[in-house]
Amino acid sequence: MKIKSQLLIIFLLISLIPIIVIYFFSINRFQDVVKADHGENFQRLAEEKAAWIDYVISERIADAKHLAANKELIRAVTLANEKYNSISNKEIGKKIRSIDEDWIERKGKTKIAKEILGSKLSLSLRDFQESEVEKYGEIFVTDKRGATVAMTKSLTDYYQADEGWWQGSYFGGKGRVFLDYRGFDKSVGGVSLGVGVPVIKDSVVIGILKFNNRINEILSIVGEKGDKKSRDNFILDTHGSLIAFAGKEEKFAPTNFEKELVKRGGSGWAEEAHSTRDVLLAYAPIKSDIYERIQSQEAKKGISGEGWELAKWFIFVEVDRDIAFAPVREISGSIFVMSAMMMAFIIVLAILIARGIARPLEKFTKSAEKIGRGELTHKIEFSTNNEWGILAKAFNDMAENLANTTVSRDQLAEEVSERKIAEEALKIKDSAIENSINAIVISNIEGCLTYVNPAFLDMWGFENPREVIGRYLADLVKDPNELSAVNEKIELEGRWVGELTQKRKDGTFFEAQLSATIIKDKKGHRLHQMASFEDITSSKLAKRALEASMERVANAQRIAHLGNWEWNVKTGKIFWSDEIYRIFGFEPGEFIATYDKFLESINPKDKERVLLAVEGAINKKGNYSVDYRTRGRGGNIRTVHEDGRVIFNKAGVAEKMVGTTLDITDRKLAEVELRKAKEEAERANAAKSVFLSSMSHEIRTPMNAIVGMSELLAETSLNKDQKAYVDTFKRAGAVLLNLINDILDLSKIEAGHMELDEVDFDVYECANNVADLFITIAAEKGVRIKVEKTKDVPRFFRGDEGRLGQILTNLVGNAVKFSKTGVITVKVDISGEGDFEEGKTRLLFSVEDNGIGISEEKLETIFEEFTQADTTTTRRYGGTGLGLTISKKIVSLMDGRMWVKSRLKEGSIFYFTANLKASELKDTQVLPSDALGLSELPLNLIGVKVLVVDDSKTSSTILIGLLNGYGMECTWATTFSEAAWKIRAETKKGTPYKLFIVDSKLAEDNDYDVIKRIKKDSALKDGVIVMLFSDSRLVDIKSARGMGISDYIVKPLKKNKLLRIVDKALRRAGFAGGEKPKHLEATKNTLKILLVDDSSDNRFLIEAYLKNSPYSLEMASDGVEALEKFKENSFDLILMDMEMPVMDGYEATKEIRLWEKSEGLSHTIILALTAYALKEEAKRSISAGCDGHVNKPVLKDTLISVIERYRQGIKN
Amino acid sequence: MEGTVESEGINNPKEKVEIKVESYLKEIVPGYLEKRAENVLRLRGALEAGDFEVVQHLGHDMKGTGTGYGFQLITELGAGIEAAGKAKDREEGFLLVKELEGYLSNLELRYE
């Protein structure tokens, strides 16, 4: 802390603390004095007021006494007393009470009252009262018995001796003055103080005179000298009751403290804290004895009259403490102001003193600092002669002495310094020459060397200067004649710069850059010659290397027809490599390239485009690439590709542009050729596709007839040979049809015409349906097919179920075809590959077999068209070799890929992925087509009415033939008008058609009239429309569905396919089944059926169902019994309940399959019986080895249809 | 469940339920129905004893056979009884058995 601040603080502390202490002490003291003074003054005031009130009361008493001594009054009273002398005391009492009662009852309006009021004495008293009306409210007189003798106004009663004041005055006949205070008195018209005095005659009390005084005067004394704003004056009696009050409070109530003071008695002063304010009060007693009417205990209990009690009055003078102490506040304010002023004065004084000390100190400090910095001539200015002045003088003397000694030392240093600098400069020069990279030599005028630097020794290969000093420069060059010529030039021009070949000590040569000068004296005489050499051998070599490199670049550019350029945007200067000149049709270096020249070189048709590219690159701060044609000298127009890059400075302004220009004329020509070739190839391919598809179409038409008719023919009664022939051409037809279908699919995919359907479908059902297709064929080979479910894969997706099924059919079909034993596993899982798409799932399907496998070298080609793993394969296993190709292409359409892992003789796994949309259906929901829960079984179609609308007789014949086979009632219409007519007729009959199969070509030709008509007709709202296409290329699924068409069939018509589509379409429309079969078709092929069921009810029932059938039935009540019977007999079909005691159906089926295998028996059809089977249970039964299942409770028709369906298989 | 019971009107003893039975089942239907009447007693006993396995088993049998004999409701009640047995719901079991009893006693068969 600075001295100045410290001084300031000390001064302030010393002066301020006493001031503050004195201030508070004096204020307190003053307050005490004021308080005592006020208290005593107020006490005096209270005592004065009390004395005054006593005086007023005594005056009234005196007045009363004076009147009581009046002779007239005494006489009148005497007379009144004498009136009763003749009557006994008892009678007197009675009479007086009688008069009193009458008086009270008539409210003083009796005769006697009037007489008294009109008596002389009464008139006199009234005169007296009215003369002092301010003092006296009422005056009356009684006789010695208390009976009223005279009165100034009518009294309320006649008899007064029963009242306290009367008894107090009468005082047992002794008589005395009796003051009574009764608060507000109606008869007086204000607060009243009664004065009762005895009327005495001959020292005997003969009556009582009563003055009821108005005490306004007393009240005014209370208030007198009281300032309403500052003081409260009041009278309290000894009971603490407030008698009178004069002050500022509206609702004054005495405090307990004040009541307590009254009880103590005497006079005094005190301080009191009221609830709202603090006061200073003084009090003094009034001496007069005043009686106050009190309610006696009896009176309180309501038994009898009133009592009187002596009460002392006290007068209080009370003032607010704030007001009392106002002078104290005033004085304390003044003291405060004075103290503050004194403090301010002290602070100023302290500051001045501190500054007086601190300033010279600062001055000395600054001066010392200056001298410290070397300003030795500095002097302190101090004019005073005090201690500061003496100190300043001593300081200045000291500085002066210091200055004198310091100056001489600087001069010395300066001289030393100059000498040192000169020596240093000389050393630097020496060092520079000695350390110079260049060789430096000094020779005399004759050329004899006098000095060489170390670089010279290095350059020429000498080790010691002595080796060369004294030798001539001519000895050290390759050609002394050349040196002579140089010397002549030096002689002439004074200096020479050039290249000269030098000769080293070892005789080798090197190129050196030489600069030589003549050193002259001041008079211009030549003294020496100095030369500096720089070895330029390496830079010469580098230059030659650069030239070679540039030549190579130039050659490369020439060969590649690629030139580079650089354009300085600011200066407009352009550099062109030689090749650029050539590309633009000029000779290299024919002119200096400029930007204008560049623009001229561009073909006018392309110029604008090039400029836009260049400007774009500059504006967008990027690169540009542009192809354009040159103007071409002599018609030699070239096409070039130019890449440019703009180089910007730090400010972002384009500085220059660099780039390359490539002659692509030849490449362009080649591209055109290539495009032409590609278009040619595409045309050829398209032609091939058209050819294939039209060929297929042409084949398909007769095929329709062949296949359809063979299906029909197979339904007729044929002998064994005939059946074999029909089967052969059915098979051949099927092979041909497959081939055509595959070719069509392929051409459709290649032509980009294949569109995928998008419907909700159950992915497991799709896989299971495929597995079901092959289950019988596989079982015959001893191969099992299982579909494995993966937990996380949802059931439902949106996509093309048919195409997915086609891929799986191909893969499972191949697996069955190429397997002899084992299990084929179809798995569905989530694929981890590919990009995730919102709302889509990429599924991974795999089909694994234990078949013949594929060799490594064939793995790559199996997806190619018309390729199978082995040429022998086709012969042995059949197939077109298109299946995998088509499958792979469909997979691509599903945004997936297909691949295979395989080992020869061990088996193959085919994988494929498909990106499918998520379905809104939940796993627990069922597809509309599944709603019946009997989807595994074909619908009963007997009696279902069908209208076939087709103009082709062959097609219609086959169609109707096949449908009739299912018991359907078919009608044929060749035209749309005929169809409309038939629809109308049948609807009218109340037997509307249920199913419409419409030829697509005919429908198209007629603008789909019939379809619109069917859709409009409410009677046909449940009708199902199936469209018949002759060519799959024509199928437009989306439009067909949009029109309300349920499904479609592509010709040729095959029985199974037709049934499947009709069944599916009818199910979708909510159709549950046709009429019950009227009779069971008798058949010669009796089947042996084994029924295994633990429920006798079921056994009886099925027995009843099959009673009249051509089937023979045997029964077993559990798995063990079934197995025994199976081992002993052969059966065509087993109906197996799955839930049984002892051995259940699953176990029994497995055992049967094992037995068949071990004994080499053929596959027996086993149908599972399950009660309201869940799909999982159905699958479980299939896994156990069952061929199908029937839901319990099983109905007769269903059972017979199922048995019939399998009977066909068994027969075949 | 109260809705189903009342709406079917099975509890009403006066209301006869006519069922058409295929004539080829004539021989086995009476035996079947006798067994069901017997089942009512067995079911009651099993429900009393808390033997829900038996309840489930009997329900399952009825579910699998009722419709085949021409009694759709026996299949439905069987399914209900099987479910009640599975859930060990005695109260529901008794209600269904009562319904079955009512149905059986009100049956009137007509062979076709």
Instruction: Give residue A932's pLDDT band: very low, low, confident or very high (50, 70, 90).
Output: very low
Q: Around Cβ A117, how many Cβ atoms within 10 Å?
A: 18
CB contact under 8 A, A1104 and B32: no
Range scoring the smallest mean pLDDT among A367-376, A495-504, A1081-1090: A1081-1090
Q: How far apart are CA A518 and CA A232, in angstroms?
A: 131
Cβ contacts of A1173 on chain B, cutoff 8 Å: none
Q: How far is CA A706 from CA A239, A699, A728, in A?
A: 143, 11, 12
pLDDT tens-digit series, residues A950-989 = 888 888 888 888 888 777 888 888 888 888 888 888 888 8
Per-window interface: B 82-101 vs A, CB < 8 A: none
Choices 3.40.50.300, 3.30.450.20, 3.40.50.150, 3.40.50.2300: CATH for A69-215: 3.30.450.20
ipTM value for the complex? 0.72
The answer, yes or no, to whether residue B71 has pLDDT greater than 80, is: yes
Q: Say what percent of chain A tops pLDDT 90.
A: 12
- Residues facing residue B5 across a β-bridge: none
Among B27, B35, B64, beta carbon nearest to A1171: B64
Instruction: Indicate the average pLDDT of chain A.
Output: 82
Three-class SS of A586-639 = CCCCCCCCEHHHHHHHECHHHHHHHHHHHHHHHHCCCEEEEEEEECCHHHCCCE
Residue written as token pair 């030795």: A376
List, by residue range, all CATH 3.40.50.2300 domains of chain A.
Answer: 928-1075, 1088-1211
Cβ distance B64 to A1100 less than 8 Å, yes or no, reads no
Q: A123-127, A340-344, A844-848, A928-932: which has the minimum mean pLDDT? A: A928-932
Smallest CA–CA distance, residue A1105 to chain B, in Å, is: 8
Lowest mean pLDDT among A282-286, A891-895, A922-926: A922-926
Q: Please calculate the CA angle A791-A795-A798 and round it to the nearest 5 degrees.
A: 140
pLDDT of residue A1034: 61
Domain ranges in chain A with CATH number 1.10.287.130:
671-754
Cα dihedral sign for A821, A822, A828, A830? negative
Q: Do B24 and A1107 touch (CB under 8 A)?
A: yes
What is the C-alpha separation between A82 and A84, in angstroms, rounded? Answer: 5
**Whether residue A794 has a cis bond before it, omega within 30° of 0:** no
In chain B, which residues have their Cβ closer than 8 Å to the Cβ of A1102?
68
Name which CATH class applies to A756-925: alpha beta
Tokens standing for residue A725: 């022939």
Q: Is the pLDDT of residue A1140 over 80?
A: yes
Q: How far is CA A966 from CA A961, A1082, A1201, in A?
A: 9, 16, 11
Interval A496-503 mean pLDDT: 89
Helix A3-68 and helix A216-223, axial crossing angle in degrees, nearest 10: 170
| Distance of alpha carbon A641 from alpha carbon A443, whole angstroms | 64
Note the pLDDT of residue A934. 35
Contact at CB, B65 and A1104, closer than 8 angstroms: no
Tokens of A1119: 């798995």
Protein fold of A928-1075: Rossmann fold (3.40.50)
Instruction: Give residue A873's pLDDT.
Output: 54
Residues of B in contact with A1098 (CB under 8 A): 64-65, 68
A976: which strand partners?
none
Distance from CA of A1193 to the nearest CA of B (A): 5
Amino acid at A359: R
| Residue B97 confidence (pLDDT) above 90 | yes
pLDDT at A909: 94
pLDDT > 60? residue A878: no
Which stretches of chain A sit within 8 Å of chain B by CB?
1095, 1097-1098, 1100-1105, 1107-1108, 1139, 1171-1172, 1192-1196
Of A267-276, A661-670, A814-823, A1065-1074, least confident by mean pLDDT is A1065-1074
Helix (H, G, I), strand (E, B) or coil at A99: helix
Which residue on chain A is closest to B33 by alpha carbon? A1097
Q: Cβ atoms within 10 A of the Cβ of A556, count?
A: 11
> What pLDDT, on a 0 to 100 scale, did the predictor assign at position A563?
93
What number is the average pLDDT over the span A247-263? 78
Quick one: which H or E segment has residue B17? strand B17-21
Closest Cβ–Cβ partner in B31, B64, B75 for A1098 = B64
Name the strand (E) or helix (H) holding A915: strand A907-918
At residue A858, the pLDDT reads 80
Strand (E) or helix (H) holding A972: strand A969-973
Least confident piece of the model among A120-124, A382-386, A400-404, A869-873: A869-873
B66 and A1193 within 8 Å at the Cβ level: the answer is yes
Q: Which residues of B touch A1108 (CB under 8 A)?
A: 24
**Share of residues in chain B with pLDDT > 70 (%):** 87
Cβ–Cβ of B67/A1193 closer than 8 Å? yes
Question: CA-CA distance, A935 to A198, in Å (whole number)?
Answer: 139
Cis ω for the linkage preceding A285 (within 30 of 0):
no
Q: A57: part of which helix (H) or strand (E)?
A: helix A3-68
Q: Which CATH number fits domain A671-754: 3.40.50.620, 1.10.287.130, 3.40.50.800, 3.30.2130.10?
A: 1.10.287.130
Cβ of A1193 within 8 Å of Cβ of B31? The answer is no
Task: Provide φ and ψ at A845, rounded to 5°.
Answer: -105, 145
Options 1.10.1040.10, 3.40.1160.10, 3.30.450.20, 3.30.1330.180; CATH for A436-535 is 3.30.450.20
Q: Report CB contact under 8 Å: B35, A1097.
A: yes
Angle subtended at Cα A240 by Cα A234 and Cα A245, rounded to the nearest 5 degrees: 20
Between A404 and A761, the higher pLDDT residue: A761
Report how far residue B33's alpha carbon sits from residue B106's, in angstroms, rounded to the nearest whole number: 12
Indicate where chain A has its CATH 3.30.450.20 domain(s): 69-215, 436-535, 561-663
Whether A1067 contacts A1190, CB under 8 Å: no
**Band of the pLDDT at B15, cuts 50, 70, 90?**
low
Q: What is the chain A residue with the closest CA to B35?
A: A1097
Euclidean distance between CA atoms A568 and A432, whole angstroms: 42
AA letter at A702: P
What local confidence, expressed as pLDDT, does residue B4 receive?
35
Say which of A1095, A1104, A1194 has its CB closest to residue B28.
A1104
- Any idea which of A113-127, A237-251, A584-598, B76-90 has the lowest mean pLDDT? A237-251
> Residue A230 has what pLDDT?
59
CB burial class (10 A; 0-12, 13-18, 19+) of residue A269?
buried
Alpha carbons A436 and A803: distance in angstroms, whole number: 90
- What percent of chain A is modeled with pLDDT above 70? 91
Domain with CATH 3.30.565.10 in chain A: 756-925
pLDDT digits (tens, 9 = 90+) for A452-477: 999 999 999 999 988 889 888 888 88
pLDDT of amino acid B12: 47
Class of domain A1088-1211: alpha beta
> In the predicted model, is pLDDT for residue A1169 greater than 70?
yes
Chain B CB contacts of A1095 under 8 Å are 61, 64-65
Tokens representing A688? Answer: 């091939």
Closest residue of B to A1170, CA-based?
B64
Q: What is the architecture of the domain spanning A561-663?
A: 2-Layer Sandwich (3.30)
> What does the angle CA A803 – CA A807 – CA A812 come to, to the nearest 5 degrees?
140
Max intra-chain CA distance, chain B: 41
| Residue count (chain A) | 1212
Q: Per-residue pLDDT tens for A502-545?
A: 999 898 988 898 899 988 888 888 888 899 998 888 888 898 89
